[in-house]
Amino acid sequence: MAPLAQSKDKDAKGFRRPFQRGGTWGSVEYSVVLGALITIVATVWIAQNFEQVWTIWRAEQTAEELVDDGISNLGWKDHTVQITRLESAVELGAVQCTGSFKAFVSVVSRYDRAESSALLLVVCLDGSPPAYYLDRGSGKGADKWIVHLEGGGWCRTAAECLDRAFTQLGSSRYMPDEIYLGGMMSSNPAVNPDFYNWNRVKFKYCDGGSFFGEVNEALTMTQSMANHHSERTATVYYRGMRVWNAVMTDLLAKGMENATKGFLAGCSAGGLASTLQCDNFKNVMPEKATVKCLSDAGFFVHMPDIKGQDSIESLYRDVVTLQNITERLPESCTSVRDPSLCIFPTYRLSTITTPFFMLNPAYDNWQFYNVLIPSSADPSFDWESCKSNLALCTEGQMELVQGFRDVLLNQLKDLITNPKDGAFINSCYTHCQSEQDWSWSGADGPKINGKTELLTTSGHLCIRQSISQVVGEWFNDDTAHIVVDCAYPCNPTCH
- Could you read off the pLDDT of 386-434 as tens digits, one per residue? 999 999 999 999 999 999 999 999 999 866 666 889 999 999 999 999 9
SS3 126: coil
Active site residue 364: yes
Active site residue 268: yes
Of 190, 196, 197, 92, nearest to 140 (Cα)?
197
pLDDT at 121: 84
pLDDT, tens digit (0-9, with 9 covering 90-100), for 328-379: 999 999 999 999 999 999 999 888 999 999 999 999 999 999 999 999 999 9
Which of 268, 295, 340, 434 is catalytic? The answer is: 268
Which of 69, 126, 207, 364 is catalytic? The answer is: 364
Q: How far apart are CA 134 and CA 187, in angstroms?
A: 12
Reported as a pLDDT band with limits 50, 70 and 90, residue 28 is low
Which of 106, 172, 279, 431 is catalytic? The answer is: 431
Contact assessment for residue 149 and residue 105, using Cβ atoms and an 8 Å cutoff:
no
Q: How far apart are CA 71 and CA 143, in angstroms?
A: 18
Reported as a pLDDT band with limits 50, 70 and 90, residue 480 is confident
Q: What residue type is 357 in one-letter code?
A: F
**Average pLDDT of the segment spanning 272-300:** 97
E strand or H helix that includes residue 490:
none
Q: How far apart are CA 464 and CA 442, in angstroms?
A: 12
* Domain boundaries of the chain, sorted by first residue: 31-72+79-484
Reported as a pLDDT band with limits 50, 70 and 90, residue 459 is very low
